Every structure is written in C-alpha cells, then in structure tokens.
Amino acid sequence: TAQHETHGFQTEVKQLLQLMIHSLYSNKEIFLRELVSNAADAADKLRFRALENDSLYEEDGDLGVKISVNKDAGTVTVADNGIGMTRDEVISNLGTIAKSGTKDFFSKLSGDSARDSQLIGQFGVGFYSAFIVADKVTVRTRAAGAPADEGIEWASEGEGEFTIAQINKPARGTEIVLHLREDEQEFLDDWRLRSIVSKYSDHISIPVQMYKEEVPERDGPDGEKIPAEPGKWEVVNKATALWTRDKSDITDEEYKEFYKHISHDFADPLKWAHNKVEGKTEYTSLLYIPSKAPFDMWNRDQNHGLKLYVQRVFIMDDAEQFMPTYLRFVKGLVDSNDLPLNVSREILQDNKITQALRQGCTKRVLGMLEKMAKNDADTYQSFWNEFGNVLKEGPAEDFSNKEKIAGLLRFSSTQADTDAQTVSLADYIERMQESQDKIYYVTADSYQAAKNSPHLEIFRKKGIEVLLMGERIDEWLMSHLTEFDGKSFQSISKGDLDLGDLDDEESKKQQEAAEKEVEGVIERAKAALGDKVVDVKFTHRLTDSPAVIVADENGMTTQMMKLMQAAGQ
C-alpha cells in the first residue's frame, strides 16, 4: 500500500480556502469552469512540449477532458490527458499560491464577506474552488514522460493539510475527484453539469466529454420496440479555439468566458477587440481590457504580455514582446502564421515579425481606447480611473504613438473643482482663451498641493484654465510631452512666465509701477539669500501670496528635484 505523507498548506492557502467557501457560495458552479480551464491549459502545455519530443504523447495524441459522475459514491470526476504533474509540481501547485501580489491581496481583506468575495474574484480562485462544493478532493496525476509507477495522489479535506502518496497511474494526465458536500448533490445531475459546461466552457479548444448512460430497450408510442442505446462519451462543448471562429458567430458571453479562461480573472472584461490580419504578416489577435487593475499593477516584475500561439499551437504565456509596457494591463493572445513553431523568447526579442505584431496590437488597443473615449465616455472614465496612470508612461516609451496617447490622457483642472481626472487635452484646447497659445499645467506632490499652488493665482484671476497634476508619474509624463495639436505645454512654475497677449496694457503699466516700488526689497533679499538662489525677481504672478520659489526655466521643476532626491540622486 502507498505511503501517505502529510503536508501543511501555506498560510495563505488556508486563508483563501476559508474565504472562498464562505463567500463564493452564490457562484459555486464556477468550480467546474476552473477545473476545465486547468485541463485545457495542461493540454496546451503538453502540445507545446511535444513539439520537441513527440514521445510525450505516449501514442495518445487526442487531448481532451472527461467529466463523469458516480451517484453512489457522490463524486464528480474531471479527468484530462494533458501534461500532468510531478511530485514536486503537485506540492507547489496545489499547496501554495505562487501568484505575485499575494501578500498585498491578503492585506486588503476586510472581513466583510460581500467586499471580500469581490476581491477574491479579482484575485482568482483556480483549483482551490473545488472546495466550494467538495469536502474532500483527490487528485491523481502522472506527468507526461514519467513511468506509470511515478503517479502521485494528492488528497485533502480543504482544512489545514493535504496528503501525498506515490501511486501507479498508467494513464498520463490528471484526474480530479470531488467528493461532494452533503448539500451539493445537485452537481451529480448530468443535465446540470452539461449546462454549466456550455455556459462556461464552450470556447475551450479541446473537447469536453461527458458520459451518456446506456438507454435500455423500450416501447415506442405505437407499441413498437425502440432498441437499446449503448452508453458512450459525448462531446458537450464546441471544442474549437474561440479566436479561430468567425466574429459574427461569437456571442458576448463567449468572449467574456474566454477572457476569464485566459486571464484567470474573475470579473468580466471592460472591452475587447478580435481581429484577423491577412497580407504580409498573417495573424489573429484577441485583446481584452480588464475592468479592474490587478493587485500587482505597480510591480514592474509582474508577468504581463499576451499568450502566444503559432498556427493554433500554444507556445507561451506572458509574451511581453507583443505589448509595450505602458499597455501592460492588456490581456489576450496573438496567433501567428509566420513565426516558427520552435520560437523562443530569445528569437522573439529581435525579430521583424514580432515588431510587426507588436505595432499591430498596439494600434488595436489604442484604437479601441479612442473609440471607447468617443462613444462611451463613462466606460472610458472607468478605464482611466483604473489604468490611466499606466497609460501616462506611454509618451516616454512610444514616440510614434505620442499624439494618439496624448489624446487619451485625462487630467484634473482648475475648471472643475475635483480631483477626478476627466479633462482631455482636446477639451482644454476648446476652452482656451482667444489669445492663449499654450497649455498651462502645474505639477505637485498631490492634487491638493497642485490646487493650492500659489503659481495659480494669476491664472485664476485671469480665468485661464490650468491642468492640475498631482500624481508621481505626471512629472515624468510632462518631461516627454512637449505639445499637443500644435499647442505647446507650459509649466506655470517654471521661469519667467510670459503671459504674452493675455496681459493687457493697463495691467502691464501697473506692474511696472509696482516693480519700481519694491526695488529696494529685491536688493535686500538678494543680499540676504546670497548663493542660495540664482536670482530674486519681481513677479506679477502672485495676487495673494507675497513670494514664491520657482525653478530655473531650463532646469528641473521643484517637483522633479524632490523625486530625484527621493531616489537618492
């Protein structure tokens, strides 16, 4: 008999299990989606590895998932013939959470189950969702290429621990047996399971099969005999890779479910774009914009990028070569007809086809955002609130799309008294005063600080709108953005601000008179401050404050200096 070793779950897994069982109750059927999704991933991984080593198929190349029910035992089994797992893989995949941002996630939980279940959804539940409906889960798996006696059995009741044993498993792949809880027996119903599969897993590219029990011989309506039908496996999903299908045949629901499968996100996407490109380079792209930023959005090491397929064959996850960093929130896939099947990350790095695909995908995303901004301002605003600060990295990174990206930016401004970033540069230009030729802005540590900047006084007085920038990234953004729609940007805290035609004759005269009056004061201030300053000047920009510190026209702004100091420069 097998030797069972007991292992403890990682603390976070224990917490996740507790939370999940209690807060995902109203959405419990998703366990099947998660398990089928994993089986499809396992098939993809096997196909990829078999490109180099055909023998991994072990003469069984028809990859699929089988779902079966044992009413007497009260179990549902999900079995695949995908890549399988080794002992070490089982222990780490089904005993820990490898995801980046895990710590951050757990620190955000509040104990309020409605809020937390939302958060868990965003975090993704995966395999552990099996415990929503099962009080015991047994996993039997054997990795492709490993001998039959290196099968592994993992079992757990979803509390603190799991057991591991070595078993004999001739069939390659993974079999997951759910021992349903007393009050979850509804999932033993064939019809119920079929409807869940078609609701959530129609788009899965491998066949999902369910066993149809034999129907005994029976009497027809006119007393004739209807012959018995033997039991058989039936394919219950469409089993074609969704992105290869015609756009017009795909429903929104299918697109949304497919998104959840590839992104491991729980929430619906905000928007998507599906395109087949023919011609010099041939590829299909399916790109999604999530509705919520993930927990590790700001972690630069975070995995991002698209799923790469070559001629329908899965090649790799997180191919970041196809998306610029400032669009790292985009999820989706590209399926290329031109790249070689044995393509590696190294080959992708310096490759003409990669370049073309990246440009194409970038254009698609920017186009999708432009369209959203134009036709559906509310949705665009919710996108901006989640991802705007990432998009602000764009002008520095992507010179060729600078103007397009600038058109997508949104800011706070003196026009509306709120920190909500809703003003586009086009809005600003439309409201510019007749003789105004510059876009004025101020950067500061926060929206509050920007809004209270003494530099604003003269602009308020003259009724000139100023963009208020209080995000860390804004300074970086503005050092790469020099103009938009032919209008140049002007920081109101830099150097001598010439308001040009915006100053009328009358006030110019007043200023000259005032300047004479304070001459002595300026001299005394210069003497007192000495080397600490470059210059002390008279200004007419202040209306209430007596003095202000400004940066040199050619130098860094004070905000940039603070950033550099913080970075230890």
Question: Using CA atoms, how far apart are residues 425 and 485, in angstroms rounded to an integer?
Answer: 9
Selected range binding ligand ADP among 82-90, 153-161, 204-212, 458-466, rule: CB under 6 A: 82-90
Q: Which of residues 431-450 bind ligand ADP (CB under 6 A)?
A: none
* Residue (of 183, 257, 139, 175) closest to 28 by Cα position: 183
Measured over the CA atoms of residue 442, residue 445, residue 451 and residue 456, the dihedral's sign is negative
If one counts every other C-beta atom within 10 angstroms of the C-beta of residue 498, the result is: 10
Residue placing its CB nearer to ligand ADP in the complex, 49 or 264: 264
For tokens 């990028």, what's the residue? 305
Question: Using CA atoms, how far apart are residues 335 and 314, in angstroms rounded to an integer?
Answer: 8
Q: Does 421 bind Mg ion (CB under 5 A)?
A: no
**Interface characters, 101-140, with ligand ADP (x: CB under 6 A):** -----------------------x-xx-------------
Q: Which of 16, 32, 36, 39 binds ligand ADP (CB under 6 A)?
A: 39
DSSP 8-state code for residue 411: B
Question: Using CA atoms, how far apart are residues 174 and 139, in angstroms rounded to an integer?
Answer: 7
Q: Which of 19, 21, 85, 497 binds ligand ADP (CB under 6 A)?
A: 85
Q: Which of residues 206-265 bind ligand ADP (CB under 6 A)?
A: 264
CB neighbour list of residue 375: distance below 8 Å, 6 or more residues apart: none
- Which residue has the closest beta carbon to ligand ADP? 126
Query: By CB under 6 A, how many residues form the interface with ligand ADP?
Result: 15
- Residue 38 CB, shortest distance to ligand ADP, in Å, is 3
Selected range binding Mg ion among 34-42, 224-232, 369-377, 512-520, rule: CB under 5 A: 34-42
Residue placing its CB nearer to ligand ADP in the complex, 309 or 459: 309
Q: Which of 23, 81, 86, 93 binds ligand ADP (CB under 6 A)?
A: 93
Residue placing its CB nearer to ligand ADP in the complex, 170 or 367: 170
* Extended beta strands in 216-338, E state: 218-219, 225-226, 232-235, 269-277, 283-290, 306-310, 313-319, 331-336
Q: Which of 32, 76, 83, 164 binds ligand ADP (CB under 6 A)?
A: 83
- Residue 231 CB, shortest distance to ligand ADP, in Å, is 25
Residue placing its CB nearer to ligand ADP in the complex, 85 or 458: 85
| φ and ψ of 226, to 5 deg | -100, 125
Residue 388 site contact among ligand ADP, Mg ion, none (CB < 5 to 8 Å, cut-off depends on kind): none
* Residue (of 486, 469, 477) closest to 432 by Cα position: 486
Measured CA to CA in angstroms, residue 87 lies from 93, 156, 165 at distances of 10, 15, 9
Q: Which of 64, 84, 126, 394 binds Mg ion (CB under 5 A)?
A: 126
Q: Does 80 bind ligand ADP (CB under 6 A)?
A: yes
Residue placing its CB nearer to Mg ion in the complex, 266 or 459: 266
Measured CA to CA in angstroms, residue 92 lies from 8, 48, 156, 351, 527 at distances of 11, 22, 14, 35, 69
Give the residues across from 308 on adjacent strands: 316, 334
Residue placing its CB nearer to Mg ion in the complex, 41 or 465: 41
Measured CA to CA in angstroms, residue 299 lies from 36, 104, 222, 295, 390 at distances of 30, 11, 71, 9, 12
- Residue 51 CB, shortest distance to ligand ADP, in Å, is 18
Contact of 160 with 14, CB cutoff 8 Å:
yes
CB neighbour list of residue 213: distance below 8 Å, 6 or more residues apart: 190, 231
Residue 389 site contact among ligand ADP, Mg ion, none (CB < 5 to 8 Å, cut-off depends on kind): none
Q: Which of residues 260-289 bind ligand ADP (CB under 6 A)?
A: 264
Q: Does 42 bind ligand ADP (CB under 6 A)?
A: yes
Interface contacts to ligand ADP, rule CB under 6 A: 34, 38-39, 42, 80, 82-85, 93, 124, 126-127, 174, 264
